[in-house]
A and B are shown apart, each in its own frame.
Chain A
Amino acid sequence: MRDRGRADIWTGVTGIAFTLLALLLLIPLGRLLWASLLAEGGGFTLKHYRDFLAYPYYSRTIGHSFLVSSLVTAAALLVAVPVAFLLARVQIPGKPLLKSLAILPLVSPPFIGAYSWILLFGRAGYVTTLFRGFGIDVPTVYGMHGVVLALSLNLYPFVLLMVAGALQALDQSLEEAAQGLGSSPWRVFWTVTVPVTLPSILGGALLVFLTAFAEFGAPMVIGEGYQVLPTIVYSLFVNEMGGNPAMASTAATLLVLCTTGILLLQYWAVGRRRYSMSQLRPIPPVRLRPALHWLAVGYAYLVVGLSLVPAIVVAITSFFESRGPVLYPNFSLGNYQEVFFNVPRAIVNSFVLSSVSTLADVLLGTLIAYLVVRRRSTVTAALDSTVMVPYAIPGTVVGVAYIVAFNKPPLVLTGTFFILLLAYFIRRLPYSVRAGSAILHQIDPAVEEASISLGVSPLRSFFKVTARLMLPGIVSGGILTWVQTITEISATVFLYFGAWSTITVVIYRQVSSSNFGSAAAASTLLLVAVFIPVLLVNWAMGERAVTSV
């Protein structure tokens, strides 16, 4: 039906996408990663890889990373999939609020969010001390299990968002047909609903796995010496004494190889199962029997509530009195006075930068998603995995690579806000692509083909038909992108300049100056500033907004 070899507007889009990726990703980062293959005297060598793998201090972190990411992904799925079903299918009071609250865990900057767990469950934590009073020894949060706990409650919204979006896009007729043919509701669920949403479940799981794999904040804060690959990359790169650049490149390359491998695995897994439908009538939420109803409501609120613990702790702490680095539980607005001078400007900066780069991400990401799903070929498969590379690269590495690449002619961007925009754009592009392609997997291409065969141009058909059907997925991808951009710190700290300091830089500096009170105040302001627009979007979209959270 479709002529795959035909050169149309999409060929042009592919070209543009590849050019942008080459300019903003492959060239800046390629050189950095290339260094891992160069011998000291010149020529190629695998010596650095042998050294890395032969040295247990480094090599054991690969296993740690796989273990942590797998456990986090499993936990996130377990927690989020049921909530997503409840949100999409069951009448729950306060849904828009709940949906908006569920995104907040993603906003809490990891270096302060994870610290909340220590405040509660550390050796001298509030909860630990409380239970000790009753003679109960609660295990402390430190180590691998603490990292898994913090990360799964931090990252489950990825799954929640994508699965809820997919369920919302499910057409009523599909399940009705199955039921009409005499299938029990259980059977309908397992043979229709689950397979159709599986791409989104896997897509969300992939985001969780990859984010957990590249995350160094939580392992740094509560790992207490439990190191993962990204913490090694970080310490090799940001080494005050110069250190070993080749080893740093090697570690970073291994990180990229691992994540690209996982990505290809997922690509292969989803590629075999494709279901599509034309969504015309979304399924209305049902009201459950009272007992079940309250169980469902309780579960949904419990999960969201638990994941908000770090944010709540941060918000409470922000009203504590600070004397230097020491906090006292007396009500005070001192922390807010402390940050009042630089926070408003920094928040405006963060809003402007993340909004502009998110718009660009959504536009290009949606187009790429379309190419990847609808124009499957070796070329677009290559595009798909290239787009995901930034996901795997620690921000630190991106920051350093961008300075090296854009601090000399022909393109001098350092010292301007533009370099931040580009770094954000490329780092968060994967969210839009993943969200877009997940939803596209469920949309029947026939509608668009009909439009084209009626003489409407392919690009116009895309925007008029497919993009509209994709809208829920695009919005949810956009919110994810925006929220993840506004909390970016690891590349920002290398690229920000002068007046373009962001709110995360302010928080980060307060934390490293041990001013936890002021850091908490700035974080709380960030949480509020992000929460309000998300809530507005959810309310504006009404029931459709299940998709947007």
Chain B
Amino acid sequence: MRRQWGWGSIGLGALLVITAWAGPGVAADHEGQVVVYTAAQSTIVQAVGPMFEKKTGVKVQFVEAGTGEVIKRAQAEKGNPLGDVFWALAAEPLAANADLLDPYTVADDAKIDAIYKKGMAGGRVQPNNVTPMVIIYNKKLVADADAPKSWKALADPKWKDKIAYAAADKSGSSYTILATLLTVFGENEAGWKLVEEIMKNAKILPSSSRVPKGVADGEYHAGLTYEDAAMRQVAGGAPVGVVYPQDGTSVPPDGNGLIKGAKHPKAAKLFLDYAVSKEVMDLLADKFSLRSARTDVQPPKGFAPLGQIKAVAYDMEWAGKNYTAFIKKWQDIIVRVK
């Protein structure tokens, strides 16, 4: 008797589990769950995840790691993909790994600024948020008037050992800065010479997050970094100032993408649509200092309107194609000057 009851309850339990699992999937046109590989900040993940689940009824699982680790993971899993979606990864490396992606056009595609769709592996990568490369400086150590106003100013020997730069071979955003410098200075001997002068002055840090942190803490006078990381220090009340270089800067996007061979493609597309929806983008701008790639979302408080930032014609495809060569040259410089 008892045993029968036991088996019965297991059977009933299993039935309940199956129904619960299949429940939303039967009614709605999706697989009921989605696995998201993301480099977004943990706080953003914790905010957006529940919102998405509530909105769509899709259960979302996140795998959080840095852009490099996420991509490496997906490369290794290529034969049997475990993730469905990339969310908020640096777009440049994502575009360089377009063979991991299936094309997809998000529902709100018309609202995404066309500038950011260039060099995105033919639409395989969808722009999420965008972030200009900037100079951050510590106001206690550098008077506003003396702050470096351009990339070129950082080549001045007076900054020797006082500026921070993340290693270009470790950090994706740091590579973007290197390629931006070459776009501004020119990819020629003179341009590389200026890069070398800047590297002579720079302390090389292992990750991009260390640059704004180190400048805010007063470990370095100034640093080469990206806008939202710098502005979060400003918002937190750190004694730092942010300079949009007068000689021009790049405004690369972070991107999303549909993983090729995704096991939950329908739910994945729902997530990709939701990630760039006005609802999420407004939240990211208000609470997390992220500048949207959408044309109908205001920049976060205190951010300069894009029109006031001098942008250079930054070619992501060129930067991606020359990655190995530029990194080699950069490493040679480091060996020479360090």
- Do B67 and A240 touch (CB < 8 A)? yes
Say yes or no for A400: interface residue by CB 8 A criterion: yes
Closest residue of chain B to A401, judged by CB?
B76
Q: Which of B76, B171, B204, B327 contacts A407 (CB 8 A)?
A: B76
Q: Whole-angstrom distance from the CB of B252 to the nearest CB of chain A?
A: 13
- In the bound complex, what is the Cα–Cα distance between A415 and B68 (angstroms)? 19
Q: List, in ascending order, chain B residues with CB within 8 A of A322's CB.
A: 236
Q: Whole-angstrom distance from the CB of B285 to the nearest CB of chain A?
A: 15
- In the bound complex, what is the Cα–Cα distance between A540 and B302 (angstroms)? 59
Say yes or no for B188: interface residue by CB 8 A criterion: no
Say yes or no for B296: interface residue by CB 8 A criterion: no
Which of B2-10, B20-28, B210-218, B274-282 forms part of the interface with chain A?
Answer: B210-218
- Residues from 507 to 526 in A contacting B, C-beta threshold 8 Å: 509-516, 518
Q: Whole-angstrom distance from the CB of A172 to the nearest CB of chain B?
A: 51
Q: List, in ascending order, chain B residues with CB within 8 A of A118's CB.
A: 217, 219
Q: Which of B71, B76, B96 contacts A403 (CB 8 A)?
A: B76
- Residues from 403 to 436 in A contacting B, C-beta threshold 8 Å: 403-404, 407-408, 412, 414-415
- In the bound complex, what is the Cα–Cα distance between A60 and B220 (angstroms)? 26
- Do B63 and A497 touch (CB < 8 A)? yes
Closest residue of chain A to B216, judged by CB?
A326
Closest 4 A/B residue pairs (Cβ): A326-B236, A124-B218, A324-B236, A240-B93
Q: List, in ascending order, chain A residues with CB within 8 A of B76's CB.
A: 400, 403-404, 407, 494
| Given A56-B335, A244-B324, also A325-B236 (CB < 8 A) | yes
- Do A123 and B169 touch (CB < 8 A)? no
Q: List, in ascending order, chain A residues with CB within 8 A of B85's CB.
A: none
| Given A118-B219, A225-B338, also A241-B320 (CB < 8 A) | yes
In the complex, besides A241-B327, A497-B61, 5 extra interface pairs with C-beta distance below 8 angstroms are A224-B203, A237-B72, A240-B90, A323-B237, A415-B82
- Do B80 and A325 touch (CB < 8 A)? no
| Given A498-B63, A510-B42, also A414-B80 (CB < 8 A) | yes
- The tally of residues in A whose CB lies under 8 Å from a CB in B reads 60
Chain B, interface size category, equals 35 or more
- Residues from 196 to 222 in B contacting A, C-beta threshold 8 Å: 203-207, 209, 212-213, 216-220
Q: Whole-angstrom distance from the CB of B78 to the nearest CB of chain A?
A: 9
Q: Which of B213, B218, B235 contacts A323 (CB 8 A)?
A: B235
Q: Whole-angstrom distance from the CB of B234 to the nearest CB of chain A?
A: 9
- In the bound complex, what is the Cα–Cα distance between A7 and B327 (angstroms)? 57
Say yes or no for B113: interface residue by CB 8 A criterion: no
- Do A235 and B213 touch (CB < 8 A)? no
| Given A241-B96, A241-B323, A513-B209, also A400-B236 (CB < 8 A) | no
Q: Whole-angstrom distance from the CB of B101 to the nearest CB of chain A?
A: 14
Q: Whole-angstrom distance from the CB of A125 to the nearest CB of chain B?
A: 8
- In the bound complex, what is the Cα–Cα distance between A322 and B236 (angstroms)? 8
- In the bound complex, what is the Cα–Cα distance between A60 and B334 (angstroms)? 12
- Do A400 and B338 touch (CB < 8 A)? no
Say yes or no for B65: interface residue by CB 8 A criterion: yes
Q: List, in ascending order, chain A residues with CB within 8 A of B332's CB.
A: 57
| Given A235-B167, A323-B237, A325-B212, also A243-B324 (CB < 8 A) | yes
- In the bound complex, what is the Cα–Cα distance between A512 and B315 (angstroms)? 27
Q: List, in ascending order, chain A residues with CB within 8 A of B218's CB.
A: 123-124
- Do A239 and B41 touch (CB < 8 A)? no
Closest residue of chain B to A244, judged by CB?
B324
Q: List, in ascending order, chain B residues with CB within 8 A of A325's CB.
A: 212-213, 216, 232-233, 236, 238
- In the bound complex, what is the Cα–Cα distance between A225 and B335 (angstroms)? 10
Q: List, in ascending order, chain B residues with CB within 8 A of A308's CB.
A: none
Which of A56, A237, A509, A511 has the most chain B CB atoms closer than 10 A to its own CB?
Answer: A509
Closest residue of chain A to B334, judged by CB?
A57
Q: Which of B62, B172, B324, B338 contacts A240 (CB 8 A)?
A: B172
- In the bound complex, what is the Cα–Cα distance between A499 and B324 (angstroms)? 37
- In the bound complex, what is the Cα–Cα distance between A412 and B79 (angstroms)? 11
- Do A324 and B209 touch (CB < 8 A)? no
Closest residue of chain A to B169, judged by CB?
A235
- Do B68 and A238 touch (CB < 8 A)? yes
Which of B62, B76, B96 has the most chain A CB atoms closer than 10 A to its own CB?
Answer: B76
Say yes or no for B310: interface residue by CB 8 A criterion: no
Q: List, in ascending order, chain A residues with CB within 8 A of B92's CB.
A: 240-241
Q: Whole-angstrom distance from the CB of B302 to the nearest CB of chain A?
A: 12
- In the bound complex, what is the Cα–Cα distance between A243 and B175 (angstroms)? 13
Closest residue of chain A to B173, judged by CB?
A240
Q: List 25 A-B contacts (CB under 8 A).
A: A57-B331, A57-B335, A235-B170, A239-B169, A240-B90, A241-B92, A241-B93, A241-B175, A241-B327, A323-B236, A325-B233, A326-B233, A326-B238, A338-B43, A404-B76, A407-B79, A415-B82, A496-B63, A497-B63, A498-B35, A501-B64, A506-B42, A509-B65, A512-B66, A514-B232
